[in-house]
Every structure is written in C-alpha cells, then in structure tokens.
C-alpha cells in the first residue's frame, strides 16, 4: 500500500532532503549534497526563485516506510511570460516499485492539470543553474556536485508511465593533456588583436564581484535561444553569487572584455568536489569543511561549469582566448582531467567548440515529457 504525504514543515523537508542518503548509501557513485545547502534552496524565505515560482514537495510511503520523493514546480516566468505551459518536476527519487513512482508522478500531473498546464517535464530544477535529467548511461562513473545520480531502473519507470523523451543531454570528459597549445596559443593572440580584446584573470573572489552581474546578463543573452532556457532574474543574481562563487577558485574564472571593458565572454570552472562530498556525507561539521577546502586547493580534476559568449562574438575564435588562459592555469596546478557539465544534444555550437580536445561522451541523461490534456 502506497500513501503520499505533502511536506508541510521543516521536519518533513528534512526527510525529503535526507531520503537519498538511505537510497544510495551503498552506491560508490552517488555524490551527496550538503544537507543545510539543500534545505536552504527549498526555503521560500531564502531562495529568491520563489518570487517567480511555486514548489510543493511530496513523500511516498510503502507499508509505512519512506519509499520516494518528488518536487512539483511551476516557474511562472516560463508559464506567463514565455507562454510555455509546462509543469516541472525534480528531486525525483524512489525505490524500484512502480506503484511508488507512479503515485508520485500522478501528484505532479494533478497539480499541472489544476493549473491548466499543457504538459509535465522532468527531472528539472527551478532554473537553468539547477540539476537536470535522469541518467540513462554512465552509471559506473562518479557523479558531480551539479548533477543528479540515479539507479539504472529509473528510466523504465518513466517509460512505463508512458512518458517520452523530451531533451537529451551529454556529459563529456577528456584528459587535460589533450589541450594541445598549438590549437589556441597563436590564434589567441590573433583574435585579441583583431577585435581589441583582453583576458582578465583573478586571484581574489572580491575582484570578480564588480563583474558578476554582467556575467549573469551575458549568460542570459548567450543561452536565450535554447529551448529549455528561463532567464536569471535580478534578485536571483545575488543569491547565485553567494551560493556558487565561494566554491570556485577565483583563478578558475576567466573573463574576456573589449576595449571599452564590456564583457564579451566568460568561463567558470570548478574543482571536482565529488570525493570530498562523499567524505562529508551531507555535513559541514565537524570535518566536511576540511574535505571541501582540501578539494578546492588540491583537486586534479576540474569541471567546466559554464561558458558564455556574446552573440556578436560567437564563431569568431574567442574561445581560443579562454582556452589559452586555462591552459596556463591548469599547467601550473597540474590538472589531470577536465569534465563538462550536461550539454543539450541540440547545442551543436558547444560540440564544435570542444571537438579538437577529443572528448569522450561518458554519461547521457534526458528529461521526459507527458501531455496533461
């Protein structure tokens, strides 16, 4: 017998956040979040996304035992401004029991129908900076702090409920040694001279802050044409600056500006925190901070989190300036592996940008869709 309970208090939300710790306790590939950070992101008083979005959280019980969870999300910018009448869902985890997964998905469908939305899609988060997609390939590789991991049986649960693939994402990796300087050193100088550009490097997070809002503006402009895009609002900028920039070594953020100091490109790389987060097991105290700090200083794996290029400068070789700067930084730090976050299959431009590095597709994930009318 499956029963569904809506989360209505902090105790319930903590159960929601901690359920995967039980589900994946024996998995060497699952990367746990920091519990306090996850709770904060679901707090309507802390996360400014709730100024433009609603979320309801549900827990499933089977014979009295916690067996699954799901977040039902409506992003009102998407629905009202972009006229995309989509019901979102995410943070969807469950035991291998169809009655559990179907009961949770039905909760989302019922909310979407009540709002007269056209379809439901997931797993997705509130925005484009949240995690996305159910893993369909690459179950034997460790996850990252910015992706969901799931067991192999998840996919068949979506498809049994007659959901169909909506978007496909690929995750790539390559050895840092694949970055042959001949591919970008000379071109980097040529591009800077041709367009009057210069690269900006940083040694302190405080140096980045004056440019951070421009970076988010450029992010919105770069990705606005992708089908899944919802822009970052003004109020969200401060939240993301506080949430993400502390995890990122300032020397891993690169900007390219024109002669008038206008930002034309940026890139953000993060050290891999996967092993550190596994050691922390959801807690910053007493030793979680130490593990994360060690990873920030010494990790030899890095994750390319975001790259944004102004539309006027796309396909003009500006990435050679970015790659040249990273090559110098990675050589100095002895970086071994480069990992890329999930990229839409339809984003041909991003694949072209990386083709000379001989990347390996090592994970695939997708979102699923179902009509509500």
Q: Cβ distance 137 to 147 under 8 Å?
A: no
Helix or strand run (H / E) with residue 70: strand 65-75
Q: Tell me, what's the pLDDT at 227?
A: 67
pLDDT-above-70 percentage for the chain: 99
The total number of residues written for the chain in this structure: 373
Domain ranges within the chain, ordered by starting residue: 2-171, 175-361
Q: Which residue has the tokens 């519990």?
A: 35
Other C-beta atoms within 10 Å of 129: how many? Answer: 20
Q: Cβ distance 123 to 370 under 8 Å?
A: no
Give the residue ranges of the chain where pLDDT is below 50.
none
pLDDT tens digits, 293-309: 999 999 999 999 999 99
Asked whether this chain's domains 2-171 and 175-361 adopt the same fold, the reply is: yes
- Classify domain 2-171 by CATH number: 3.40.630.30
Other C-beta atoms within 10 Å of 31: how many? Answer: 21
Burial class (CB in 10 A: 0-12, 13-18, 19+), 130: middle
Q: Cβ distance 313 to 262 under 8 Å?
A: no
Q: What is the DSSP secondary structure assignment for residue 115, as one 8-state letter?
A: T
Q: How far apart are CA 41 and CA 50, in angstroms?
A: 10
Q: Under CATH, to which class is 175-361 assigned?
A: alpha beta
Q: Which residue has the tokens 């997964």?
A: 101
Helix or strand run (H / E) with residue 192: helix 185-195
Q: How far apart are CA 171 and CA 297, in angstroms?
A: 24
Instruction: Tell me how many degrees the CA angle 100-88-239 measures, rounded to the nearest 5.
Output: 115
Helix or strand run (H / E) with residue 255: strand 253-257
Q: Which residue has the tokens 């979320």?
A: 55
Q: Tell me, what's the pLDDT at 131?
A: 95
Q: Tell me, what's the pLDDT at 352?
A: 86
Note the Cα 326 to chain centre separation in Å.
Answer: 21
Q: Tell me, what's the pLDDT at 128?
A: 79
């Amino acid at each position: 017998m499956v029963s569904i309970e809506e989360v209505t208090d902090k105790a319930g939300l903590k159960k929601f956040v901690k359920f995967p710790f039980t589900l994946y306790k024996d998995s060497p590939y699952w990367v746990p979040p920091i519990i306090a950070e996850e709770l904060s992101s679901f707090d309507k008083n802390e996360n400014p996304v709730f100024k433009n979005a609603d979320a309801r959280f549900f827990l499933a019980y089977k014979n009295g035992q916690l067996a699954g969870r799901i977040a039902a999300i409506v992003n009102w910018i998407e629905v009202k401004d972009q006229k995309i009448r989509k019901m979102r869902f995410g943070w969807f985890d469950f035991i291998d029991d169809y009655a559990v997964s179907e009961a949770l998905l039905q909760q989302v469908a019922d909310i979407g129908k009540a709002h007269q939305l056209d379809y439901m899609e997931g797993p997705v988060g509130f925005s484009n900076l949240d995690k996305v997609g159910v893993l369909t390939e690459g179950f034997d590789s460790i996850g990252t702090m910015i992706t969901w991991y799931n067991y192999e049986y998840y996919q068949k649960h979506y498809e049994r409920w007659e959901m169909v693939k909506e978007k496909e994402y690929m995750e790539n990796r390559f050895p840092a040694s694949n970055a042959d300087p001949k591919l970008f050193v000379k071109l980097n100088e040529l591009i800077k001279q041709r367009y009057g550009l210069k690269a900006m490097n940083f040694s302190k997070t405080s140096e980045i802050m004056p440019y951070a809002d421009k970076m988010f503006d450029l992010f919105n402009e770069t990705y606005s044409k992708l089908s899944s895009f919802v822009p970052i609002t003004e109020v969200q900028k401060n939240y993301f600056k506080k949430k993400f920039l502390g995890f990122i070594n300032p020397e891993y953020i690169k900007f390219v500006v024109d002669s008038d100091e206008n930002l034309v490109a940026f890139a953000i790389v993060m050290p891999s925190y996967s092993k550190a987060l596994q050691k922390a097991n959801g807690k910053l105290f007493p030793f979680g901070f130490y593990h994360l700090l060690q990873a920030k200083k010494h990790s030899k794996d890095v994750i390319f989190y975001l790259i944004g290029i102004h539309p006027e400068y796309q396909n003009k070789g500006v990435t050679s300036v970015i790659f040249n700067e990273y090559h110098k930084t990675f050589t100095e730090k002895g970086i071994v592996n480069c990992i890329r976050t999930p990229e839409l299959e339809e984003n041909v431009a991003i694949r072209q940008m990386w083709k000379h590095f001989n990347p390996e597709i090592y994970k695939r994930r997708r979102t699923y869709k179902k009509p509500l009318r």
